[in-house]
Structure 1
Amino acid sequence: MGTGVVNIENQQFLLGPNQGILFRPRIPHEYHPLDQKNWKTAFLSFDGTLCEELAQYLGLKDFLYIDRISPEIMAFIPEIFHDFISSNTVSLPDQSVEIYKFIMLLHQNNVFKDLHSNATHITLPIVNYISDHYSEKVSNEQLSKITSYSVTYQNRVFKKAFDITPLEYLTNYRMKKAKEFLLTHPEWEINTIGNKVGFHNISHFISQFKKTYHTTPTKFRRFI
């Protein structure tokens, strides 16, 4: 509640309700209430072997100002914040899973915020379709039917907005879901996870995972 001022790297931000800043450790900053009025804040800090990779995933340089958050994040934060500060603190693996979910929500929030308004009618249906059908076979032709534009045009617009093609976005999304499943479902076999993210050839799945993350799914699971 309330509004405050945050100074970071010679920049000043007003931080009001449903806004926030994510920044790396040891980045000098200061903050105070606006006009000395009441300002209630909360913070979450975390570290771990995947932090650098997650920071790159978010496009985080030194800090990331979030001026508007999605309803999903608004619902998620109070729930997980209560769990973290309660006397029944969740286990460290569970905390890692929740933080990973939070990062995924932040990424999705930024993706939708950064879409060019004149391209949303093309990019948004593609993003939504992929998030709902990533486990299935997806082709440019299918996406073209969703957008009602030619494959060439829709791909050009999508790449301008995301710097990758729709099918490259699909592959990246599948890999991120695979990592999520490796974290959240330790009981699932690697083959099961591959199938759930749209790879029905286990060798192809392992090869793509290694190409993306420079390790195999099995080694990634051991690492965490």
Structure 2
Amino acid sequence: MIHTRYELAPSAISGFPIFIESIGHHEDQEKMVRPDGFTYFHWLQTYEGEGEFTIEDKTYRLTKGAGVLLYPDVAHTYFAITERWCTQYITFGGSNVDIILRTLNIEQSAYFSWEEHSPLHMTITNIIEKLVNNNNELYYSSYDASSDLYYFFMQLKQHGQMNNRTSIQRHIVQLQPVLDWLEIHYADPNVGLEQMATVLKLTPRQMNTLFQTAFHVSPYAYLIRLRLRKSKEMLLHERDITITQIASHVGFRDVSHFVASFRKQMELTPEKFRLMN
């Protein structure tokens, strides 16, 4: 039984809002029963083979491309259902973990799956390789650990399908035709939801659901943000053009709406933004 485990030194975790407590690779996972749960947050994923994972009263089959995120102190059991079950895990904590996970809409223990070529499959391996290449985990700094853990959260949110829901990445792929279309037509003040939905061959309601899931904003709010981004580029690189002209060039019907939208997002007017840059 080969079990590679790295426990980070106290100096690598103290004082950081998120930290890795331990990380490892298990070539032949043994059965684990924890009626009182685990002290830290715990992520376990299948690398090869298959296992069964029970969280309180819910049971999941962990195949390659699947994992479970456990909140602390949650009862769980897992064991191999193939002759050999290879797993990888990471335990972590920190004062800001709850906040970050809730921001990502991961508010409780959950099952995740991902597509075959997703970078999620290699995320834990890549962290372990950093430790191996340094020959000693003490050389893996607290900054490295915190940064890699945050990157893992982002990969999980982008590529993972939580409790069999569609991943954000897949929603973005579905939206790509209209995102590309908006890059060309954002300056047209007549662009509306019906046109955008027609590009996707969806109803406005279906399109709104995709935008809310992928970007947490409505299609209209996404369009306004795109127009404001284009306006900032013009403010910085075309300084001879007036604010009124810029508003028109990026699709606003009147300058007052442009200034109000810009101030709401940037907390300063377009004139002040231009002067400060």
TM-score, scaled to structure 2: 0.47
Offset at residue 141 of structure 1 (A):
4.5
Q: How big is the alpha-carbon RMSD for the aligned residues of Structure 1 and Structure 2?
A: 3.7
Offset at residue 6 of structure 1 (A):
0.3
Q: Secondary structure at the match of 1:59?
A: coil
Offset at residue 43 of structure 1 (A):
0.9
State yes or no: 1:83 paired with 2:136: no
Aligned mate of 1:29, from 63, 76, 79: 76
Structure having the larger proportion of residues in helix? 1
Aligned mate of 2:217, from 150, 156, 164: 164
Distance 1:97 1:10 in 2: 34
Aligned mate of 1:151, from 183, 186, 192: 192
Which structure is higher in RCO with an 8 Å CA cutoff and minimum separation 6? Answer: 2
- Provide, for residues 155-203 of structure 1, a one-character-per-residue CA deviation record: whole Å limited to 9, x for no partner: 64332122631465697xxxxxxxxxxxxxxxxxxxxxxxxxxxxx999
Aligned mate of 1:38, from 70, 80, 84: 84
- Percent identity of equivalent pairs: 19
Distance 1:87 1:102 in 2: 22
Tell which structure's C-alpha radius of gyration is larger. 2
Aligned positions of 1:166-205 closer than 5 A: 166=219, 168=221, 205=266
TM-score, scaled to structure 1: 0.57
The 1:108–1:151 alpha-carbon spacing in structure 2 relative to 1, beyond 3 Å, is: farther
Which amino acid in structure 1 is aligned with residue 89 of structure 2?
F
* Count of aligned pairs: 161
Q: Which runs of 5+ in 1 are unaligned?
A: 130-139, 172-200, 208-224
Q: Secondary structure at the match of 1:74?
A: helix
Which amino acid in structure 2 is aligned with residue 16 of structure 1?
T
Which residue is 1:92 aligned to? 142
Q: Segments of 4+ in structure 1 off by > 6 A?
A: none
Q: Is the 8 A contact 1:18 1:68 kept in 2?
A: yes
Q: Is the 8 A contact 2:193 2:219 kept in 1?
A: no
